[in-house]
Chain A
């Protein structure tokens, strides 16, 4: 896909004959760059982490959509993939990690546990029922127990769409 197809909309003003010059708003260029290089945080909590690893490994190859750079430190990340059950002891840690990520930041809730407790909703005393319970806003929900790697890839692509179509550059509207 040529670059001018990826930068959305009527923003290309004029294409000069014989040259590869594109005129666009810097804001749109930023959005395109942001969406195409979402660096996830290595944050495997439980079962879903294995599927996240499988997504990153050879067969599904998350690098195709520019998200293959798993970082160990939240300070270098754009997106937190909450992969697994959140327990009370882990809750504070998750909030702290989210706070440590630089803006703009995005959250993908991967799997039913991260969405709303999943099969650990009933009869448990130590499971937080979803990421939003902790006050961490979620951008994309990926359902499944665990979601298939294709599902996670789709989730990341949805997030890219969301970033590219965001009205304002301000992080406040990027969230939710």
Chain B
């Protein structure tokens, strides 16, 4: 063993996906230890939750996992509905599923694009992914007037109906995206350089994944067939037919592939849901302020894993305590073990395949 060298990676670094700070100890090119330091984006969202009414807190959930704002909205609204026993209008249930799945596609596209960029495929895959994502973002823009922080879900329903003609746009998008998926496969998935860079790098075993409470695509890439949408369905997910893609080894490539396959499954769900949207008003008639007691824990399947909201209410308009169990937080915990013994360039590959968003890690 030669002389050890400590390298600070981040908090400002193009490959740390935000403001993560990694303290890497290197022996030549080999990573001896890696210590993640968090908190560079700690925005005290949990404290804010205690000082906002339930409805007022929905915009803050947008800013947790800002690549999947709709899914966060959904998670929080479902938690409040579970806590206060509020029924969701039937049309809103379908709209929520469609919107959440579209956002999952958008989020996975960014994950794929940035992962390829981390591996050195500068800009091209990212531009491909972003131009696909732009179509979804534009659609969301027409639905709720915002490109990134949507604030579309409301307690008991959604903020408004989708504009006329949206179904056609979504159907066209599904056709377009299927074609694009084939292109991603040609461009990336079985590309020799891409395989050489990501295959057998950062293997996460099944046991490790369970021990670290890994959820989402990362868990499935390690071979555990577990999807909350399938196993403990919420909304109307039990009415749709979709598969749960799993990986075999649990390496970086598997994590990439699972995400790519999940896009196809999301498209299947959207396709089925769009044909079955019931008529009616998706806007709920419940009050804007609520008062309730008790506590609840609601988890939903976010693009990055299981997002949990633990709400404690005590006879006020505001939640007494709101704990957000974010998937990236648990997923990042395993990084330390994964990168030990790898080349420093492979550490970037592993980090890219974890697909973290600092907004929900630090909250």
Contact = CB atoms under 8 A, between A and B. Distances in A.
A46 B66 contact: yes
Interface in A53-70: 53-54, 57-59, 70
B66 A47 contact: yes
A46 B131 contact: no
Interface in A98-113: none
Contacts of A126: 42-44
A25 B56 CA distance: 56
Contacts of A41: 12
Contacts of A97: 12
Contact of B42 (A42, A87, A123): A87
A122 interface: yes
Nearest to B131: A58
B148 A50 contact: yes
A99 B131 CA distance: 35
Interface residues of A, number: 36
Given A90-B11, A93-B12, A145-B149, A127 B131 contact: no
A46 B44 CA distance: 14
A47 B48 CA distance: 18
Contact of B47 (A53, A93, A125): A125
A122 B43 contact: no
Chain B's interface size range is 35 or more
Contacts of A57: 126-127, 130-131, 134
A54 B134 contact: yes
A51 B19 CA distance: 16
A90 B39 CA distance: 9
A49 interface: yes
A84 to B, nearest CB: 8
A146 B148 CA distance: 7
Interface in B99-153: 110, 126-128, 130-131, 133-134, 137, 147-149
B110 A90 contact: no
Contact of A46 (B41, B59, B137): B41
A50 B110 contact: yes
Nearest to B49: A123
Nearest to B63: A47
B350 to A, nearest CB: 19
B13 interface: yes
Contacts of A43: 12
17 contacts: A41-B12, A46-B66, A46-B359, A47-B63, A49-B18, A54-B130, A58-B131, A59-B134, A85-B41, A87-B362, A89-B40, A89-B42, A90-B11, A93-B11, A120-B43, A125-B44, A146-B149
Interface of A: 41-47, 49-51, 53-54, 57-59, 70, 72, 74, 84-85, 87, 89-90, 93, 97, 119-120, 122-127, 145-146, 148
